[in-house]
Amino acid sequence: MKIIVLIKQVPDTTEIKLDPKTGNLLREGVPSIINPDDRHALEAALRLKEAHGGRVAVLSMGPQQAIDAVSEALGMGADEGVLLSDSAFAGSDTWATSFTLSRAIRKMDGFDLILCGRQAIDGDTAQVGPQLAEILDLPQVTAVCGISSFEPGASGRSQVLRRVRGGYQRLNCTLPALFTVVSEINTPRCPHMERLLRACKTKTAIKHWNCADLGLKTQEVGLAESLTQVITTFPPKTRRKSEILEGDPRSVAGQLVDRLQDNKLI
Amino acid sequence: MPSVWIDYDRCDGCGLCAKKCPYDAVEMRDGIPHILEQCTCCALCLEACKRGALQTDLTARTVPDFSAWKGVWVFAEHQQNALQAISLELLGKARELAEQRSETVSALLLGDQGDPLVQPLFTAGAHRVYQVQDPRLRHYTTDAYTKSLARLVEKYKPEILLIGATDIGRDLAPRLARRVGAGLTADCTELSIDPEEGILLQTRPAFGGNVMATIVNRFSRPQMATVRPGVMEKRAPEPLQGELVAEQLEGGDQDSRVEILESWTEEGERIDLSKARVIVAAGRGAASSEGLELLEQLARSLGGELAGTRAMIEEQWLPDDRQIGQTGQTVRPELYIGCGVSGAVQHRAGMAASRYIIAVNKDPRAPLLSVADWSIVGDLFQVVPELISILSRRI
Ligand SMILES: Cc1cc2nc3c(=O)[nH]c(=O)nc-3n(C[C@H](O)[C@H](O)[C@H](O)COP(=O)(O)OP(=O)(O)OC[C@H]3O[C@@H](n4cnc5c(N)ncnc54)[C@H](O)[C@@H]3O)c2cc1C
Ligand SMILES: Nc1ncnc2c1ncn2[C@@H]1O[C@H](COP(=O)(O)O)[C@@H](O)[C@H]1O
């Protein structure tokens, strides 16, 4: 039994600050983390492995420093890791990302299940999972919040719970398949110190593949292969009056109600 | 690999290239720009430079001829025989975009008993409805819906295709985009047509709402986008009559790789915050039964709904259908009052479009104050009772 978990290293967006003058992102000093949903995906994979045996591999595409995310995943219990890193991958949109990831998965030998996070907190698109499922012609279930049965094998199937607006769905899915998971599914474990240190020191369980290793040309990946392009970025607008009401509680409450009345809000 | 470099003889150190770069790949050091490793050769800096100091060996990608692709399409999502609000919001926006392109709007209606929904689609702005009726489309499934829609796209070639960023839309859109070979932009909050190029400008928050990015899709059709529920405005209904085009679901044996065993909704009436005119949002500063009681009263006296931050949902003070923000709902009420809400970006991402914003917070540096119209720096346990008592006298 083999599960591949897709993990992305992302800046911790709760720690991002904006330059008050230019409104640009100040990325310096922003810590990088494993995308929160992906941690839950890894935890789900590790629990399936504990129940059914087998192996868990993590796959990540990103700059060299994403090795930290892969090492951390090994520290949590993954058996092997693959990092796709090449300057040609820069600027990939989800079209190009899912394509590149699919090539790597074809190079890894077989799987029963692919687990992704539902969405990454930086790009925030929730597109990579379904697009990868499409390329690999796999059935997909998105926003999985529980895996109630898992029977890998020749005519494998799995029963999952999916969160949909206003309720839940229970689904039966043939394996191999791709699921994207949400944080409700479990509480991820912390990395095991010894494993983590071993992963960081030896790094033998981590493979590095670049564009050529995937049998791809540079013009087939990254921005060159992307269908969408970012043309501008700008700070979110705030065009508010920003008036601070002053006085004791009764007086400020009165001033506020006056403003509500003046603006016909009540 | 192609690259971008700087001809320092021409550079005057104005820094426009660094400002323009969406990837933070141009760094100004001592007034001189340097191109960093993360450069993607997107070439936007070339356009920004007034002195032609930025150079590249990049060959421009040619844009294929898309003149056969016409019209704006909207995926009509429905549940229990009623159109979802997002479908009407998208039709409103689609009309605006179609007018700028001198084109028409079509809605895509899939299901097993669509007839009662056709007229409401016309009324909401569709010139045409493509209807696929089949018992196998009764419930949404990824495979059957992707297959049907891909066929329609390939047959009729729309220029733009909009889908709601709902649970269904987010499952469907990426799969469909990949199948028809189109780029897709997620969770847009603004859409417009570029007056020169005539392409769709898709704007969305990124990095947890810290920045807005405008994205285009030059090299494929349809130009696909998902749009967050609650951010676009519906059009006033018009008694329009349009054209109905019936289509078949082809391929007799739909593969059933995923089977829905059961679906259930949670107990109780789930509320739809996007319809509320007034919202009182509770943050961790109100995390006590007394605090919530006060805010509930305030909401009631204004005829509004009580909602909250993710912290309040995580700590189980409020049910999860009341969460506002990036991972909750987007709301745009007439009046939003945040009490004990710090205003983290992920929260603001879901409420910044409210018409009027009020913040009640002890901390004058809370970020919510910077997006508020009026702020009260004070203890909500003192301020809110005063508000309730004045309101009870004045309205
Ligand atoms: C991936 C991700 C997604 C997220 N999505 C969302 C989302 O969708 N929605 C969301 O809301 N959050 C979201 N968050 C969480 C967000 O970052 C904040 O942690 C959260 O919004 C903070 O909630 P809060 O304002 O209630 O609490 P706090 O940040 O703890 O703020 C409490 C505020 O109350 C004030 N206060 C305390 N006592 C009083 C008093 N007596 N009177 C007046 N003021 C008082 C304090 O000054 C403070 O400003 C997300 C985070 C992540 C990482
Ligand atoms: N560069 C990447 N490397 C590995 N996994 C990724 C990458 N980008 C996206 N994913 C996976 O796809 C999910 C959704 O990402 P996104 O579509 O960017 O929101 C993530 O939670 C990851 O599991």
SS (H, E, C) B291-318: HHHHHHHHHHHCCCEEEECHHHHHCCCC
**pLDDT confidence bin for B1, thresholds 50/70/90:** low
Identify the pLDDT of residue A182: 93
Q: Which two tokens stand for residue B18?
A: 């660094």
Identify the pLDDT of residue B230: 80
Between the CA of A7 and the centroid of ligand 2 the distance, in Å, is: 6
Between the CA of B282 and the centroid of ligand 1 the distance, in Å, is: 9
Contact A222 B143 (CB under 8 A): no
Among A102, A111, A114, A50, which Cα is nearest to A76's?
A50
Which tens digits make up the pLDDT trace of B133-180?
998 898 899 999 999 999 999 999 999 999 999 999 999 999 999 999
Specify the CATH number of the domain B72-254: 3.40.50.620
DSSP codes of every residue in B240-278 = ---EEEEE----SS---SEEEEEEEEPSSPPP-GGG-SE
Specify the CATH number of the domain B273-394: 3.40.50.1220
Strand B32-35 and strand B54-56: the pairing is: unpaired
* Whether the CB of B164 sits within 6 Å of ligand 1: no
Identify the pLDDT of residue A90: 85
What SS3 class is residue A20? coil
Provide the residue ranges of all domains of chain B, joining segments of one domain with +: 4-56, 72-254, 273-394
Domains of chain A plus CATH, in order, are: 2-225 (3.40.50.620)
Identify the pLDDT of residue B235: 85
Give the list of residues 6+ apart from residue B242 with CB closer than 8 angstroms, or none: B121, B122, B126, B127, B128, B129
Contact A172 B371 (CB under 8 A): no
Q: Which two tokens stand for residue B311?
A: 């912290």
Buried b (16+ CB within 10 A) or exposed e, B3-32: ebebeeeebeebbbbbebbbbbbbeeeeee
Is some CB atom of chain A closer than 8 A to the CB atom of B41? yes
Among B326, B313, B333, which Cα is nearest to B210's?
B326
Identify the pLDDT of residue B395: 66
As a whole number of angstroms, the distance between CA B202 and CA B189 comes to 8
Give, for B283, the enclosing helix (H) or strand (E).
Answer: none
Q: Are B204 and B187 in contact (CB under 8 A)?
A: yes
- Chain B residues within an 8 Å CB radius of A223: 40-42
Q: Which two tokens stand for residue A110?
A: 């077989």
Identical fold for domains B4-56 and B273-394, yes or no, is no
> Which atom belonging to ligand 2 lies closest to the Cα atom of A115?
23
ipTM of the complex: 0.86
Mean pLDDT of B251-259: 72
DSSP codes of every residue in B2-17 = --EEE-TTT-----HH
- Chain A residues within an 8 Å CB radius of B334: 265
Chain-centroid distance of CA B73 in Å reads 16
* Three state DSSP letters for B178-240: HHHCCCEEEEECEEEECCCCCCEEEEEEEHHHCEEEEEECCCCCCEEEEECCCCCCCCCCCCC
Between the CA of A127 and the centroid of ligand 2 the distance, in Å, is: 8
- Chain B residues within an 8 Å CB radius of A174: 257-258
Fold of B4-56: Alpha-Beta Plaits (3.30.70)
* Whether the CB of B363 sits within 6 Å of ligand 1: yes
Which mean pLDDT values do the consecutive 10-residue runs of chain A (266 residues) have? 96 70 64 94 97 96 93 94 93 92 94 96 90 97 96 92 86 97 92 80 84 91 87 76 90 94 88
Q: Are B264 and A168 in contact (CB under 8 A)?
A: yes
